[in-house]
Amino acid sequence: MSFFRPELDRLAGYMPGEQPQDTGWTKLNTNENPYPPSPLVVEAISDAARGRLNMYPDPHGTKFRKAAAEVLSVDPDWILPGNGSDEVLTILTRSFAGSGDQVAFPYPSYILYETLADLQGAPCVRLPLEPDWSWNFDKVMPVVEKCKLVFIPNPNSPSGNRWTWDDLISLTPPRGVLVLDEAYGDFADYPHRGELLNSTIGSQVVITRTFSKSYSLAGIRFGFAMAHPSIIGGLRKMKDSYNCDAISLAAATAAIQDQAWMLANVSKIRATRERLSNALTSLGFHVVPSQANFVWATHPTGEHKAQYDALRARKILVRYMTFPNVSWASDQRLDGLRITVGTDAEIDMLLTALKEIV
């Protein structure tokens, strides 16, 4: 007998990528940054640790919001810090999606959105993407128009493609909220800045960002939402009072103030991404042009699971992904390898191994 809510009992639960805790792995499976965070971050963490750990942290993360506001050219009232951007996505779902409110997200994409909606007992609909990862607006708009909440990662995962601002804005539900999950925004050619929110239907659009990828801080849980203060005010009521701890607030504040460090790592990763994409193409893979810190590679043999296993046997971890019910994939099932852009040395190891495998 189970006493859990039926929503929970029905759920398989979100499966994050593998995080082996022993050493010796080349880890290219969960899109972490291979480079360390800014030394100023480490300094800020140790200062915070020597500081007032007996006291509760600032519930509003004021220092962080001021620092972020400056970088993003918005007012601090437009920023809501969270314990990782996944927590921000949870707060958004809990704030907007009641049991009858429809949630939608592109498919194939980040499947956590579906888990969050399921946990709320909110009906969740997949917006099918075309084979080239573009939108067929005639197909998806009738669904979007009935939604309370639409989540779109931009750039998308696992494909790494990015949609235009016009495409995205047209997916705003007329009576609801559009969430642009910009976990990978800093790796794109023209990262969005806050001013774009001011100039559009600002009170219906939320942008989320994370420190786990471009800022090299996946081990510190920190992300934030950026939106019109009327939205931020509501989200604040939903969040735990102390959702961000003193250590992560100090780390994130130092990280966002060192833009030069983050941008230097992003530029190394973008260069390696080009090299990786070209090399995979030479090995016969089809690679989607990526605007993120990973690439989506499929091979005409379709032997992705075997390739993943052979890499794993060599202690190289990539992400093997399958997406059922994709009309344009063979057997309606899309699968492939999502490979994080590591250091040049890591990518060389991967390519050497793949040359033997494929």
Strands (E) in 149-252, as ranges, are 149-153, 177-181, 205-210, 223-227
Give whichever of 97 and 116 is closer to ligand PLP, judged by the CB atom.
Answer: 116
Site for ligand PLP contains 37 (CB under 6 A): no
Give whichever of 65 and 299 is closer to ligand PLP, judged by the CB atom.
Answer: 65
In angstroms, what is the minimal distance from the CB of 216 to ligand PLP?
12
Look-up of token digits 């579906």? 114
In angstroms, what is the minimal distance from the CB of 218 to ligand PLP?
6
- Residue 273 neighbours by CB distance under 10 Å: 24
Please, what is the angle between helix 344-357 and helix 304-313, to 10°? 120
Among 34, 57, 108, 153, binds ligand PLP (CB under 6 A): 153
Peptide bond into 155 cis (omega under 30): yes
Give whichever of 148 and 213 is closer to ligand PLP, judged by the CB atom.
Answer: 213
In angstroms, the CA 173 to CA 175 distance is: 5
Give whichever of 114 and 181 is closer to ligand PLP, judged by the CB atom.
Answer: 181
In angstroms, the CA 25 to CA 34 distance is: 13
Among 84, 108, 173, 342, binds ligand PLP (CB under 6 A): 84
In angstroms, what is the minimal distance from the CB of 82 to ligand PLP?
8
Give whichever of 253 and 349 is closer to ligand PLP, judged by the CB atom.
Answer: 253
Give whichever of 304 and 319 is closer to ligand PLP, judged by the CB atom.
Answer: 319
Among 86, 186, 335, 346, binds ligand PLP (CB under 6 A): 86
* Sheet containing 26-28: order of strands: 26-28, 316-323, 334-340, 294-298, 286-287
Distances (CA, A) of 146 to 106, 108, 115, 129: 15, 20, 20, 18
Q: Which stretch binds ligand PLP (CB under 6 A): 40-48, 55-63, 81-89, 134-142?
A: 81-89
In angstroms, what is the minimal distance from the CB of 89 to ligand PLP?
7
Site for ligand PLP contains 187 (CB under 6 A): no
Among 48, 124, 177, 183, binds ligand PLP (CB under 6 A): 183
Give whichever of 180 and 350 is closer to ligand PLP, judged by the CB atom.
Answer: 180
In angstroms, the CA 95 to CA 158 distance is: 27
Among 114, 118, 181, 346, binds ligand PLP (CB under 6 A): 181
In angstroms, the CA 217 to CA 211 distance is: 5
Q: Which residues contact 306 (CB under 8 A, 6 or more apart)?
A: none
Binding mask 213-252 for ligand PLP (x = CB under 6 A): -----x----x-----------------------------
In angstroms, what is the minimal distance from the CB of 212 to ligand PLP?
3
Strands (E) in 156-267, as ranges, are 177-181, 205-210, 223-227
Among 93, 159, 204, 212, binds ligand PLP (CB under 6 A): 212
Among 26, 38, 85, 340, binds ligand PLP (CB under 6 A): 85
- Residue 160 neighbours by CB distance under 10 Å: 27
Q: Which stretch binds ligand PLP (CB under 6 A): 60-68, 73-81, 84-92, 255-263?
A: 84-92
In the chain the first and final C-alpha atoms are separated, in Å, by 49
In angstroms, what is the minimal distance from the CB of 154 to ligand PLP?
9
Distances (CA, A) of 175 to 51, 68, 96, 128, 205: 46, 29, 11, 21, 12
Distances (CA, A) of 20 to 29, 37, 218, 351: 11, 21, 15, 21
Site for ligand PLP contains 157 (CB under 6 A): yes
Listing DSSP states for 273-315 in one string gives: HHHHHHHHHHTT-EEPPPSSSEEEEE-TT--HHHHHHHHHHTT
Interface residue list for ligand PLP (CB under 6 A): 31, 84-86, 110, 153, 157, 181, 183, 210, 212, 218, 223
